[in-house]
Amino acid sequence: MAAAEFETPKIREYPIIPHLQEGVMAHSKPFVAKPDFQEKLGYPGELVDNWKEVAIEKMGELTGKYRSLQVFLDSCVKCGACTDKCHYYLGTTDPKNMPVARQDLFRKVYRRYYTLPGKLFPKLVGAEDLTEEVLDDWYSYFHQCSQCRRCSVYCPYGIDTAEISMAAREIMDAVGKGQKYCNEIIGKVHVIGNNLGLPEPALADTLEGLEEDVEEETGVQVRFPLDVKGADVLVVTPSADFFAEPHIDGLIGYAKVFHQAGISWTLSSYASEAANFGMFIGSYENMRKLALRIREAALDLGVKRIVFGECGHAWRVAYSFLNTLAGPFDFLDPSYPVPQHICEVTHGLIQEGRLTLDPSKNDDMVITYHDSCNVARASRMGDRPGGQFEIPREILRTVCNHYVDMPSYSIKEGTYCCGGGGGLLTDDLIELRVKGALPRMEALKNVVDDYGVTHMAAMCAICKSQFSKVFPYYDFEMDQIVSLHQLVSNAIVLQPEGKEESDENSPGEGQEQAEAA
Amino acid sequence: MPLEVDGKTFETDEEGYLANLNDWQPELADAMAEADGAELGENHWEVINFLRSYYEEYQIAPAVRVLTKAIGKKLGKDKGNSKYLYELFPYGPAKQACKYAGLPKPTGCV
């Protein structure tokens, strides 16, 4: 826990493409997973002797299995459109953090072993042997990609660096060189059900404490139900929502929304995690195993709907892959999206006039909103294009009187990653996290100076933890990051004599239809 | 990087968290704090002792909110908030205080 031995980048008035400093981040490497963590996920405990053969074979398997990956490797024309789009490049100035250069760490090996010109004339086509140095570079720079996909928005071919990073990490896992942070966590979910390793009694105790707190504060008994069979809605949320700040204030917001709308809901101690780090390491098997816990919990509890809490990549997995990973979900009520996002629920209820909100409760703040990369660029919300941008903003404008957007290049599909996504939210990568946050910090500073913005809302557990950690490096206060549903929670006016929710009786189905929108 | 206290060696992980929970003794917390350039006072110990008793019961560190509430009850309401805990443990109550208390590091999106 020694003090940081690096310099925090200076905030500039507007983004400037930095001068290159070759190799300046070559030292940045996360801790390697211990044999125990590796083996639990079905990977070799440490680097295998014939790692080179295993890696090349795995690469062939992946390019054969995922056509997209092969297309991405074959189609880059080195136009350079992506070079200045990566927050890690902008923050670190290391040229290997340019998306095209990062991809090329993989592509050069692919060319050497899987293309004819690369086999015959490697030097002419930029093909290279897989060596220990190359593997070292992979370990370093594929853990300097948060798989945020900003570069792919600007690529004329739509090449997705995230997918290449995932493949590289999967190959490294296959040869026994996995990353500690992700793999330890995935192992915990397989056994305990969540990233934190929070067992059921501790979860129950925490939720009970929240019921007391909310009652003390509002005079209303708002429930935080756990493992309630027959509830209508199963809420799956990142375990950080039970543990960290400001996450927990968001969880309180969900509970108040369900309470006021009279929707019966429950959390599950078996599926007590929305996050799915299996995606970060590119492992379909682990991703599927984690997703199946949610299916099992939904079946076991007999719920009609599944709603996801504020977690960025969880929503990508849920929205884009849940049905193929763990479906079919024909046992759920088809009049609601499967799955549904908590913001869709809240937004629908606002449209129907079923929430009593007093936005003046947030008058002490001027709010801006950070689009989380996986929500912005890898999923959607609601029934119209761009719903993932508009629905959160419409909620914010309803619950806050003072809302301002950050500069247009830094929001919506152009949003900058918080700097800690994609399985990099670990202390051993703090230098990378601080530097990678620079573009977002500059955009935030812009609205702080020009419009008096005091707080930034987010709806991703990683973003929230990352910002509360890196804000002080840029002279912001750690509590300037807030949960979206924390603001809903502040604004919602609860009536002490209002009807209490019931676990057995669901409100009229017809009433709830519009929520599905 | 093993930790040496009173001539005895204790195994830790890469980040200095105690490898074996049962190895813990108060002197270890003092030694860890010293290495961070800090000194543990009475209020630090309130936090460390609470963490250890919570862990004993639940096999996990308490949520930040559970911790602040408990500390507020013990040390007065003005101290029952994260701001105060960050004053005590600048690297974060969940992580730094857990380390001194011999608990494993909280993992996940925290």
And the tokens for A475?
A: 């002279």
* pLDDT of A26 above 80: yes
Token readout for B94 is: 């969940």
Choose among B15, B91, B110: nearest Cβ to A465.
Answer: B110
B110 lies in some domain: no
Q: What is the DSSP string of A274-300?
A: ---TTTTTT-HHHHHHHHHHHHHHHHH
Contact B65 A185 (CB under 8 A): no
Report the gap between the CA of B57 and the closest CA in chain A (Å).
Answer: 9
Q: Which residue of B has its CA nearest to A248?
A: B65
* Best mutation target, A243, A424, A470, to test chain B (most B CBs within 10 A): A243
pLDDT bracket for residue A513 (50, 70, 90):
very low
pLDDT at A4: 55
Is the predicted pLDDT of residue A337 greater than 80, yes or no? yes
Please give the average per-residue pLDDT across A381-403, as a whole number: 97
| Residue A222 to residue A239: CA distance in whole angstroms | 20
- Is B108 domain-assigned? no
* A245 vs B contacts (CB less than 8 Å): 64-65, 82
Contact indicator for A339, A306 with CB cutoff of 8 Å: yes
Tens-digit pLDDT profile for residues A423-449: 999 999 999 999 999 999 999 999 999
Same domain (yes/no): A216, A239 = yes
Residue A22 lies in a domain: no
Q: Which residues of A touch B59 (CB under 8 A)?
A: 199, 202
SS3 for A1-25 is: CCCCCCCCCCCCCCCCCCCCCCCCC
Both A250 and A227 in one domain: the answer is yes
Tokens of A428: 């051993």
At B47, which helix (H) or strand (E)? helix B42-58
Rounded CA gap, A131 and A119, in Å?
16
Residue A30 has pLDDT above 50, yes or no: yes
* Residue A506 reports pLDDT greater than 80: no
CB burial of A405-429 (b: ≥16 within 10 Å; e: otherwise) equals bbeeebbbebbbbbbbbbbbbbbbb
Residue A432 CB partners (closer than 8 Å, separation 6+): A25, A28, A88, A92, A144, A419, A424
Q: In 3-state terms, what secondary structure has residue B9? A: strand
Q: Check A205 against B82: CB less than 8 A apart.
A: no
Q: Which residues contact B56 (CB under 8 A, 6 or more apart)?
A: none
How far is Cα A421 from Cα A147, in angstroms, rounded to an integer? 7
| Letter string b/e over residues A195-233, b meaning 16 or more CB atoms within 10 A of that residue's CB | bbbbbbebbbbbbebbbeebeeebebebbbbbbbeebbb
Residue A397 tokens read as 């404008």
- Is residue A17's pLDDT more than 50? yes
DSSP designation for A269: S
Residue of B nearest to A425 (CA): B109
Question: If interface means Cβ-Cβ distance under 8 Å, which residues of chain A face chain B?
Answer: 1-2, 31, 180-181, 184-185, 188, 194-199, 201-202, 205-206, 209-210, 213, 238-240, 242-245, 247-248, 275, 311, 425, 427-428, 461-462, 464-465, 469, 478-479
* Predicted pLDDT of residue A497: 60
Q: How confident is the model at residue A13 (pLDDT cuts 50, 70, 90)?
A: confident
Q: Which tokens go with A47?
A: 């680097």
Cβ-nearest to B109 among A188, A199, A238: A238
Q: Tell me if residue B109 is catalytic.
A: yes
- The CA distance from B75 to the nearest CA of chain A, in Å, is 18
Q: Give the domain-ending residue among A128, A157, A178.
A: A178
Taken in order A415, A421, A424, A430, the sign of the CA dihedral is: positive
In a domain, A17, yes or no: no
What residues of chain B lie within 8 A of the CB of A29, using their CB? Answer: none
- Mean pLDDT on A373-394: 97
Instruction: Tell me which of A114, A148, A178 is where a domain ends.
Output: A178
Indicate which CATH number applies to the domain containing B27: 1.10.10.370
pLDDT tens digit sequence for A254-274: 999 999 999 999 999 999 999
Of B15, B59, B63, the CB nearest to A427: B15
Last residue of a domain, one of A139, A160, A178: A178
Mean pLDDT of A2-13: 82
A117 alpha carbon, distance to own chain's centre: 39
A277 and A153, same structural domain? no
What is the pLDDT at residue A516? 47
- Chain A: nearest CA to B94, how far in angstroms? 9
In a domain, A15, yes or no: no
What is the least distance, in Å, from the CA of A244 to any CA of chain B?
Answer: 6
Within a domain: residue B107?
no
A256-274 burial by CB neighbour count: b if 16+ within 10 A, else e? bbbbbbbbbbbbbbbbbbb
How many domains does chain B divide into?
1
- Residue keyed to tokens 């290391």: A94
Contact residues, chain B, for A469 at CB < 8 Å? 92
pLDDT above 60 (res A138): yes
CA distances to A13, A476, B24, B108 from A197, rounded to whole Å, are: 42, 31, 21, 9
**Pairing mode, strands B8-10 and B3-5:** antiparallel
**Domain containing A149: what range?**
35-178
Are A63 and A88 contained in the same domain? yes
User: A63-84 pLDDT, tens per residue?
Assistant: 999 999 999 999 999 999 999 9
Asked if A457 contacts A367 with a C-beta cutoff of 8 angstroms, the reply is yes
**Element of type H or E holding A234:** strand A233-236
Query: A115 Cβ partners below 8 Å, 6+ apart?
Result: A125, A127
Check B16 against A1: CB less than 8 A apart: yes
| A chain contacts of residue B66, beta-carbon cutoff 8 Å | 205-206, 209
Contact flag B58-A188 (C-beta cutoff 8 Å): no
Question: Chain A partners of B64 at a C-beta cutoff of 8 Å?
Answer: 243-245, 248
Domain count, chain A: 2
The alpha-carbon gap from A195 to the nearest alpha carbon of chain B, in Å, equals 5
- In single-letter form, the type of residue at position A410 comes to S
Position A1 pLDDT exceeds 80:
no
Range of the domain at B72: 3-100
What radius of gyration, in Å, describes the C-alpha atoms of chain B? 13
- Interface A-B, measured as beta-carbon pairs within 8 A, has a size of 93
Residue A514 clears pLDDT 90, i.e. is over it? no
**A147 & A202 share domain:** no
Burial string for A464-476 (b: 16+ CB within 10 Å, else e) reads bbbbbbbbebbeb
Question: For residue A435, is it within any domain?
Answer: yes
Closest CB to A199: pick one of B60, B63, B106. B60
Among residues B87, B92, B109, B110, the one annotated as catalytic is B109
Picking from B58, B65, B106, the nearest residue to A201 by CB comes out as B58
Which candidate from A1, A184, A206 shows the least CB-CB separation from B36? A1
pLDDT band at A512 (very low <50, low <70, confident <90, very high): very low
Residues of A in contact with B36 (CB under 8 A): 1-2
Is B13 domain-assigned?
Answer: yes
Find all residues with CB under 8 Å of B1, minimum gap 6, and list them: B12, B14, B16
pLDDT tens per residue, range A41-61? 999 999 999 999 999 999 999
Task: Verify whether the Cβ–Cβ distance A185 to B108 is below 8 Å.
Answer: yes
From residue A214, alpha-carbon distances to A98, A220, A251, A473, B43 in Å are 47, 7, 11, 33, 27
Average pLDDT over residues B36-60: 95
A321 contacts A353 by C-beta, under 8 angstroms: no
A167 and A290, same domain (yes or no) = no
A411 and A437 share a domain?
yes
- Residue A15: pLDDT band by 50, 70, 90 thresholds? confident
B100 to chain A: closest CA residue: A1
**Helices A51-65, A161-175: crossing angle, 10 deg rounding:** 140
Tell me the average pLDDT across A158-183.
Answer: 98
CB contact under 8 A, B65 and A209: yes
Instruction: Please report the pLDDT score of residue B12 as a whole number.
Output: 94
3-state SS string for A351-395: HCCCCCECHHHHCCCCEEECCCHHHHHHCCCCCCCCHHHHHHHHH
Q: What is the pLDDT of residue A509?
A: 42
Q: For residue A32, give the DSSP letter.
A: B
CA-based nearest residue to A420, from A259, A232, A280: A280
pLDDT, averaged across chain A: 95
Residue B92 to chain A, least CA–CA distance (Å)? 9
Please report, for the domain that includes residue A112, its CATH number. 1.10.1060
Across the range A387-403, mean pLDDT stands at 98
Q: How far is CA A438 from CA A22, A91, A416, A431, in A?
A: 19, 6, 9, 11
Which residue is it, tokens 């400001």?
A246
- State residue A515's pLDDT score: 47
Q: Give me the mean pLDDT over the A396-420 stretch.
A: 98
Whether residue B14 is predicted with pLDDT greater than 50 in this model: the reply is yes
- Can you tell me whether residue B84 is helix, strand or coil? helix
In a domain, A98, yes or no: yes
Cα-to-chain-centroid distance, residue A301: 26
pLDDT of amino acid B92: 87
Q: With 60 as the cut, is the pLDDT of residue A2 above it?
A: no
Q: Given an 8 Å threshold on Cβ–Cβ distance, is B66 in contact with A209?
A: yes
Contact at 8 Å (CB) between A66 and A138? Answer: no
Chain B contact set for A427 (CB, 8 A) = 15, 95
Name every chain A residue with its beta carbon within 8 A of the beta carbon of B69.
209, 213
Give me the amino acid identity at B41: G
Stretch A178-203: mean pLDDT, rounded? 97
Clarify whether residues A346 and A229 are in a common domain. yes
Of B15, B65, B109, the CB nearest to A465: B109
Cα B25 from chain centre: 12
Same domain, A480 and A411: yes
Instruction: Show residues of chain A in contact with B85, CB under 8 Å.
Output: none
User: Is the residue at B79 inside a domain?
Assistant: yes
Angle at which helix A180-191 crosses helix A284-301, to 10 degrees, equals: 30
Contact B60/A202, CB-based, under 8 Å?
Answer: yes
